[in-house]
Amino acid sequence: MTNSVTLLGTKGGPAIRPGTPMPTSMLVEMDGQRLLVDAGLGVTRGVCDAGVALTELDAILITHLHSDHYLELGPLLHTAWTAGLKKPLTVWGPDGLAHYWEKFLDSMAFDIELRVRDEGRPDLASLVTIERLAQGCFSFNGLLIETMLNVHPPIEESYALKISGSHHRVVLSGDTAPMEAMVTFAKGADLLVHEAMLTAGIEALCARVGNGDDRLRIHLERSHSAAGEVAKIAAAAGVKRLALNHLIPSDDPDFGPEDWKCEVSAHWNGPWDLGVDNMRIELE
């Protein structure tokens, strides 16, 4: 296994429509470990399409509790279980994630109890441990995982992550407004995967949603990062490669790769990728 990051879902926000990419999740393969970061809608299919069996995931991290980052966590774990999961799996996430998991198990109790009784499956609840993510760092099977609270109001527990192995270091911004501290956090990283928004596409997006009001636009502008700002952060941090994900907008035919390129290339002339679902980025 080579070290890589696969963008399983690259769309910012929870809604999907005909032809849209899927909400956010990423697979980080580093030093033989497979870490899933976030579990938006489509993650179960995404992991399989990346050629990884659900039972091969070593750990899961959830950056924050917006549904586009954990809506499919329960179905993913349940499906890993029916696909043969028998080793314990730890999921790190913010306060509230344990409650989600407990209630998911409750909602599926009929099926789970049936499969234990009728098919001899192990107890799903005891295979999965939910741990609270906190600011700081911890090691996991030889990897160093560092967390930094980012700026994603009104959510307070929202994290950027840095995952370091013996040769590579990747930084994942999570959902955040541009942060000066991200420059230090991402210093010299082999890859920075940063969320990004096309400022020009926001008005059109808000008009299309149809059931929100002006608060949606205000939320986007104070809680997410314009692509040009992301490019400036990448340049200041001197990262080796940049990838944009959690794209807003991601499904508007009036805005395409040229628009993103225009905003990014004004401030960044290093290698970069505009995320698409199932894009695998090898770490050199």
Binding site for Zn ion (CB under 5 A): 66, 68, 175
Comparison of 68 and 263: residue with beta carbon closer to Zn ion: 68
Contact residues for 104 (Cβ-Cβ < 8 A; gap 6+)? 73, 74, 78
Min separation Cβ 26 and Zn ion, Å:
12
Comparison of 23 and 165: residue with beta carbon closer to Zn ion: 23
Are 271 and 241 a contacting pair, CB within 8 Å? yes
Angle between helical axes of 214-223 and 202-209 (0-180°, round to 10): 140
Min separation Cβ 174 and Zn ion, Å:
8
Min separation Cβ 40 and Zn ion, Å:
8
Min separation Cβ 176 and Zn ion, Å:
9
Comparison of 197 and 281: residue with beta carbon closer to Zn ion: 197
Distance separating alpha carbons of residues 97 and 39, to the nearest angstrom: 12
The token pair at 58 is 């070593």
Comparison of 87 and 222: residue with beta carbon closer to Zn ion: 222
Comparison of 66 and 168: residue with beta carbon closer to Zn ion: 66
Distance separating alpha carbons of residues 141 and 92, to the nearest angstrom: 14
Distance separating alpha carbons of residues 187 and 271, to the nearest angstrom: 16
Min separation Cβ 62 and Zn ion, Å:
11
Comparison of 129 and 199: residue with beta carbon closer to Zn ion: 199
Contact residues for 212 (Cβ-Cβ < 8 A; gap 6+)? 206
Helix (H) or strand (E) holding 118: helix 109-119
